Structure 1
Amino acid sequence: MYIEMNGTRLPDERNGNSHGHIQLVLGPMFSGKTTELIRRMRRYKIANLRCLLVKYEKDDRYDAQDVTTHDHASMAAIKATALMDVENEAKKHDVIGIDEGQFFPDTVAFAERMASQGRVVIVAALDGTFQRKGFANILELVPLSESVIKLQAVCMMCYNGAAFTKRIGNETELEVIGGADKYMAVCRICYTKDPADKKK
């Protein structure tokens, strides 16, 4: 049984019927994925559920410890490079939030295991690389998830809807952590344009 709270399904722990599930929040950079993750986690906390938020250890763009959005909203978290490292702690909680899920090597196995044990797992992640290729672990998670949404950002060049992430620099590595100094959210048309052509 679930309680509905502003579009977020809350497991009804009062009668012992907890059904785990996976919620997947996708989108390009600057689309509000982390904001949505924090919003959902806070609502579960209001429902008196035990919540754990996990952040990628190498992501220290805004805060070394907390999960922090681009506009500096934050929530306390624990850091990890692999989710298996926090599994014992996760088992003490009802709801587990994972930020930057594309960077963890074991996101799929961890989320599936936790959900099958009766926990709610919320994963916020990029669905595609700066080359518009899928993050394999996230694409594998889609058919295992009960809820999947893809958010859009605002194109930083023409200000229309943006579904893609464009890298500004010349780095070729897949994992280059950064914010507006390294990436732009862009629409389909602007993805192929020079960032210098940004609309004034």
Structure 2
Amino acid sequence: MMLFSEDVFRRRSEFGGSIELICGSMFSGKTEELIRRLRRAQIARLNVEIFKPKTDTRYDETAVVSHDLNSIHSTPVENASSILLLGGNTQVVGIDEAQFFDDELPNVCNQLANKGIRVIVAGLDMDFLGKPFGPMPAIMAIAESVTKVHAVCVKCGNPALYSYRLVHNPAKILLGEKETYEPRCRICYHID
């Protein structure tokens, strides 16, 4: 059995981090997958911190909640830089609704991963117009792994990758649920 010096362990933790991205349309199970991964980290007795944007109050002020109403405690933050201040002795950082964060989020994810922290990020990859959403493209570029999940198109049953907005509102950010959005495949998204 080989014993490692403290310096080797320190270097491993400094460079052993990673960034995992879970992305897709609304109702595709992004938050469900994030919660599953974070719970497994907690079962492994790792120190886990979870963050979400303060503006996301759909289900709960502080918890990250999936559409299936599974939840996990989180800390709402004003901006991405706040995650660095609150992420202290953490081994795993979870970030939900990444598309709502500012453009500093990729840099924050890199800083955390470079310190040896496993960073798990979930968010919409496209807005309702089908355009890349917020910092998500930059996070995709730097992530070690990207998991793209799909919903089911409510029109035809095929895999859905678009979040179709049901209400007329030109605002890029419009919090809502099934009364505001529905998942659609490429063909059904472009028909209406």
* Fold similarity call, TM over 0.5: yes
Task: Give the superposition deviation at 1:136.
Answer: 4.4
Aligned positions of 1:100-119 closer than 5 A:
100-105=97-102, 106-119=104-117
3-state DSSP of counterpart to 1:113? helix
1:149 is aligned to 147
1:48 is aligned to 45
3-state DSSP of counterpart to 2:21? strand
Given the alignment, which residue of 154, 169, 173 partners 1:171?
169
Given the alignment, which residue of 55, 61, 66 partners 2:63?
66
1:5 is aligned to none
Between Structure 1 and Structure 2, how many residues are aligned? 180
Amino acid at match of 1:45: Q
Task: Give the superposition deviation at 1:87.
Answer: 1.8
1:137 is aligned to 135
Q: Which runs of 5+ in 1 are unaligned?
A: 1-14, 195-200
3-state DSSP of counterpart to 1:115? helix
Please give the TM-score of this superposition, normalised by the length of structure 1: 0.86
Identify the structure with bigger relative contact order (alpha carbons < 8 Å, sequence gap 6+). 2
Distance 2:43 2:90 in 1: 14
8 Å CA contact 2:123, 2:136 repeated in 1: yes
The Cα offsets for residues 29-54 of structure 1, whole Å up to 9 and x where unpaired, read as 00000000000001111111100111
The Cα offsets for residues 117-159 of structure 1, whole Å up to 9 and x where unpaired, read as 1101011011111111112411111121100111000111222
Task: Give the superposition deviation at 1:92.
Answer: 2.1
Task: Give the superposition deviation at 1:160.
Answer: 1.7
Amino acid at match of 1:88: L
Task: Give the superposition deviation at 1:83.
Answer: 2.0
Distance 2:112 2:76 in 1: 18
Amino acid at match of 1:101: A
RMSD of aligned Cα (Å): 1.3
3-state DSSP of counterpart to 2:186? coil
2:118 is aligned to 120
Aligned positions of 1:65-104 closer than 5 A:
65-104=62-101
Q: Which runs of 5+ in 2 are unaligned?
A: 1-7
Please give the TM-score of this superposition, normalised by the length of structure 2: 0.90
Amino acid at match of 2:115: Q
3-state DSSP of counterpart to 1:129? coil
Structure 1 consecutive aligned stretches of length 4 or more whose deviation exceeds 3 Å: 15-18
Does residue 33 of the first structure (1) align with residue 37 of the second (2)?
Answer: no
